[in-house]
Amino acid sequence: MKNFSGKRRMATAVSAASLAIVISVAAPPVSAQDARTQALEQQLRQLETSLRAVRNELEQVKAESARDAQRLMQIEQKSTSIEKRQAVDAQKMAKIEETAVSAREILDSSPHMLFFRGGYARSNDLRNGVSIQSGGIGGAGGQADHDAWYIGAGFDFNLTNDVWGLIPRTSLVSELMFEYKEFGTKVAGNALTPPGSGVNVSQFTLTAAPKIKFFEGSRLRPWIIPAGLGIHVISPPSESITVLIPGIMFGVGADYRIWKNLFAGVDARYHLTSGRTDGIKIDGMTAGGYLGIGF
């Protein structure tokens, strides 16, 4: 019995030892598998973390690219705006330069002028007078021709370059002028004339008139005289020894600045009087040219 119990205990101990050996032998493979699994899971987690980081970096790159594209668009818009502003500035500069050139021309040209005239004159009627053809005591005599030549001079005084703000680039000038006309030098005289001598038929005219000159600042300046006062002195006098005849003068012309303050021009004028003075009518016109000096 005791031997059986001892054998049983021994068998149990052997079984226990065998089981322990089996467990000890089988245990390492199971632990290695778990370790590999854990390592793989850790690698997967690291890979996932790396992918997340890459994704975050890609999103940051996209965001920065979008910001860069927006900045580039803003730069292009600013560049376009600058180009437009530069074009507008260039146009403004061109206008300023043009205005400066016009202003320089205006400054270079003097507003006042002294001019000398000459040309052709014609009277509408033949001239009578006390010492030529006369209905009075002098009796019959000769008459001067319709045609004459004239010389004269005048002075332009500039008052305003824009008619006091009413009309731009239009000057209002005050003109004072005189001229001498000669219709004949050897006109046959009547009984009051010494025998064998001829009579000089002439006329002196003094005028004062407003002159409107256009295109201020330009080399070419057309002008008009709407109406001016004229005082005529005739020789020989009328049958009642009248020598002064008042009238109205109208004129049109143009002058051109040929160099610095030297001008050349043409004009035409018409003189109108109220009627006959002692049988004498002196209405007529003049047409010719003139040279002017600005100052």
How far is 236 from 241, CA to CA, in rounded Å?
8
How far is 280 from 19, CA to CA, in rounded Å?
170
How far is 239 from 30, CA to CA, in rounded Å?
162
What is the average pLDDT score of the chain?
83
Q: Is-cis flag, bond preceding 226, omega within 30?
A: no
Distances (CA, A) of 172 to 54, 68, 291: 86, 65, 20
Q: Region 284-290: what's the mean pLDDT?
A: 98
pLDDT band at 248 (very low <50, low <70, confident <90, very high): very high
Nearest to 211 by CA among 174, 168, 247: 174
Looking at residue 108, its pLDDT comes to: 47
pLDDT at 27 over 70: no
- How many CA atoms lie less than 13 Å away from 142 in the CB half-sphere? 17
| Domains in the chain: boundaries | 1-108, 111-294
- CATH number for the domain formed by residue range(s) 111-294: 2.40.160.20
* Token output for 62: 């996209």
pLDDT at 3 over 70: no
* Token output for 21: 């050996």
Beta strands 220-235 and 198-214 are: antiparallel
What residue type is assigned to position 202 of the chain?
S
Q: In the chain, where does DSSP find H-type helix?
A: 2-108
pLDDT band at 56 (very low <50, low <70, confident <90, very high): confident
Q: Region 210-232: what's the mean pLDDT?
A: 96
Which position has the higher pLDDT, 139 or 173?
Answer: 173
pLDDT at 185 over 90: no
Question: Do residues 263 and 256 touch, judged by C-beta distance below 8 A?
Answer: yes
